[in-house]
Amino acid sequence: MKQRTLAILKPDCIEAKVTGKVLDKILAAGFQIAGMKLVRMDEETAGAFYAVHRERPFYRDLVNFMSSSQCIPMVLEKEDAVEDFRKLIGGTDPAEAADATIRKEFASSKQNNIVHGSDSPENAEVEIGFFFSDAELISTG
């Protein structure tokens, strides 16, 4: 059965002009796009999205980074989407990410790591609902 996950191409991805290359890797890995949009989160919206990290030392920097420019949230579909996307993007720190992963190839730091991916099916559902209504999503069959 197909599963959905949320991906966000972060401001550093757009600013580095590697959005197309990252999308190519996502599509080549068998993901289908059920929804996608270009947004500019303000600090309040970014803070609400990353509220789970509110007590972490990096929270303020993360909110500032995510509200610094445009980003592209998208809903991806495939079997085992959450787990497969986490493998495709690699570890948070690009210096430690596996070879051929998105973060290894394109990210510059642990904070500026190009892409967000949901970490569980339950969180994927919540995160998708943060950015998309059901009417904005298509079934990819």
Say how far apart CA 105 and CA 94 lie, in whole Å.
8
Q: Give pLDDT, residue 88.
A: 98
Name the residue among 95, 118, 89 with its Cα closest to residue 108. Answer: 95
Per the model's pLDDT, the better-predicted residue between 140 and 27 turns out to be 27
The answer to whether the CB of 37 falls within 8 A of the CB of 94 is: no
Distances from the Cα of 87 to the Cαs of 44, 65, 84, 95, 104, in angstroms? 30, 24, 5, 15, 12
Q: Give pLDDT, residue 95.
A: 93
Helix, strand or coil for residue 45? helix
Please state the rounded mean pLDDT for residues 1-18: 95
Q: Which residues of 55-76 are buried (b: 16+ CB within 10 A; e: fewer)?
A: eeeeeeebbebbbbeebbbbbb
> Active-site residue numbers?
116
Q: Where are the alpha helices (DSSP H) in the chain?
A: 11-15, 19-28, 43-49, 59-66, 81-89, 102-106, 121-131
pLDDT tens digits, 98-112: 999 999 999 999 889
CATH superfamily for domain 2-41+72-133: Nucleoside diphosphate kinase-like domain (3.30.70.141)
Amino acid at 58: F
pTM here?
0.94
Please state the rounded mean pLDDT for residues 61-69: 95
Q: Give pLDDT, residue 139.
A: 83
Q: Give pLDDT, residue 1.
A: 73
Please state the rounded mean pLDDT for residues 105-124: 94
Mean predicted lDDT score pLDDT of the chain = 95
Please state the rounded mean pLDDT for residues 68-97: 96
pLDDT tier for residue 140 given thresholds of 50, 70 and 90:
confident
The answer to whether the CB of 26 falls within 8 A of the CB of 76 is: yes
